[in-house]
Amino acid sequence: MRIQRLNKVSMKNLQEHLLKRNPSQYQEYEKVVFQILNHVKENGDEAILTYTEKFDGVKLYADQLLVSEKEKFEAYEDVSKELLMVMRRALVNIREFHQKQKQNSWFDTNKNGGIVGQRVTPINRVGVYVPGGRAAYPSSVLMNVVPAKIAGVKEIIMVTPPNKEGKIDSATLVAAKEAGVDKIYKVGGAQGIGAMAYGTETIPKVDKIVGPGNIYVALSKKAVYGLVSIDSIAGPSEILILADGDANPTYVAADLLSQAEHDELASSILITTCEKLAENVNKELERFLSRGIFLEPCDCSVDTQASEECTCYEQKSTTLSRREIIKKSLDNYGYIFIAEELEQAIEAANEIASEHLEIMTKNPFEVMTKIQNAGAIFLGDYSSEPLGDYFAGPNHVLPTNGTAKFFSPLSVDDFIKKTSIIAYSKEALSEVREDVEKFAHAEQLTAHANAIKVRFD
C-alpha cells in the first residue's frame, strides 16, 4: 500500500479518489437500469423470466419463482449443523441488540389542555434484496430481516438470484427461514428491485426495499425511490483504522485485508502516528498476500511475525481465497497515512466518515469520544471488524462513501412509521385561536384562518 504524509492536499486527493466509487458516478449504467425497470413495470412476470434467463442463465416458469417449502427443507439438509448453530447464536445477539431500539407510541397533554402525541406503526410489507452469484451472504439476510421483524412488519419477502440450476444457495435459504422471511423469490438484479417496486403477477409490491447489491441494484433502488422507500444507496465496503505505536501490525494488516476482499472497489485505509507501524503493516500485508494465512498456530521456534525462515509455513498456511481481488483493491483504494499527531488523525477520520472505523490506540475509548462520523466503531485489538459483520449484534448495514456524516446504520427505526396525533377541545382551541389566525394571515392563507374562525362565530 502507498504510504503518504497526512496533510490537506493528501486528504483532498483521497476524498476525490474515493468519491469515484459512489454509485451515482456510474451514469453509463443508468440507461440499462431504466430499460429493465420499465420492461418489468409494463410486462411483469414475463420480463422477470426473460432477464432471469439472460443474466442468470436459467429458464424458469412463473410458478417456479416462489421458493417452495420443500426447497427450504432440503436446504437444511445441505447446511452443516455447526453453521446452523452459529446462525442461531448470531440471531440471539442481533435480536437482543435491536430489541433495545424498539419505540412506543406516546401521548401528552399540553398546557392548553390539548392532546398531542405520536403513534408508531410498522411498515406493512418490506422487500429484502440478497446478492447471489459469486458469493452467498446469509449474514446479510439476518441483518436486514431481524430489525424488520422486531418492528412488527406484517410481511417480509425476499428476492435473490438463482444459480444455473435454478436453485438458491442453501445457507441463504436457511438464514431466511431462521430469521422469519415469509416468501422467497428466485429473481435478482435490477429486475428483482423492479418486481418489488411495481409488483408482478407473482411477486407482490412492497412499501420499502432494503439490502445490498451490485451497481445495477444500487441504481435501481435509486430509480424507484419515491414509489417505495429504500434503506440507502450503498457503495463499496470500506474500513479506516486509527492506530498509534501500540498497535499490533499483524492485526492491523489482517483487518485491512478483511475489507479489501469484498470488492475491487473496496477501500482500506490506515491512519497512524507511528511511521514504524506503517512500515511494519506494509510488510505484514506483503507476507499475507505472498505466503498465505495461518489456519492453526505455528509451533516452530522462529518468530513468524517478522521472519521468512519458518519451515512449517507450507503445512500450516493457506492462500487467501480472494487474493486477486484484494490486490486490486489495495492497489486502487488502499492507503497508509502518517499523521503528525493523534488529533490530526481524528480530524481526518471525522472528515472521511468511514463505514467501519477501528481504533487501535493506547486509549481507544478516549479516542472514541472524539469521533463524530462513522458507521460503526470497533474499539481495541480484539474488536475486529468481522465480529460486527457476523456476530456481535449491531447491524452491519452501514452508511458508506462519507454518508455517515448524516446517515445511521440500519435499525428498527427503518421499519416503522411515526404519525402525529392532535386532539384539541373547543376550550383548548380557544386558548390559541388568535395565534393560529395571525400566523395564517401573515402567510396570506385566509382559508386557514377561516377554518379556525368559523368554529367560534
- The DSSP code for 228 is B
The catalytic residue among 356, 385, 396, 437 is 356
- Exposure pattern of 296-305 as b/e (b: 16+ CB <10 Å)? eebeeeeebe
Find residue 118's DSSP bridge partners: 106, 420
Tell me if residue 355 is catalytic: yes
Contacts of 335 (CB under 8 A, 6+ apart): 1, 2, 4, 14, 267, 268, 269, 270
Distances (CA, A) of 390 to 72, 92, 360, 387, 397: 22, 12, 20, 6, 11
Q: Give the residue from 2, 22, 6, 20 showing the smallest Cα distance to 351.
A: 6
Residue where the block lists cell 406503526 = 121
Distances (CA, A) of 157 to 238, 332, 398: 28, 37, 21
Cα–Cα distance, 158 to 185 (Å, whole number) = 6
- Mapping DSSP to helix (H, G, I), strand (E, B) and coil, where does residue 390 land? helix
For 220-301, strand residue ranges (E) read 229-230, 238-243, 267-272, 293-294
- What's phi and psi for 272, nearest 5 deg? -135, 155
CB-CB neighbours of 163 under 10 Å? 14
Cα–Cα distance, 237 to 268 (Å, whole number) = 9
The catalytic residue among 178, 238, 264, 355 is 355
CB-CB neighbours of 150 under 10 Å? 22
For β-strands 317-318 and 293-294, DSSP reports them as antiparallel
Find residue 224's DSSP bridge partners: none
Tell me if residue 448 is catalytic: no
Amino acid sitting at position 283: K
Amino acid sitting at position 224: V
Q: How many CA atoms lie within 13 A of 20 on its CB side?
A: 9
Find residue 116's DSSP bridge partners: 108, 422
Catalytic residue set: 355-356
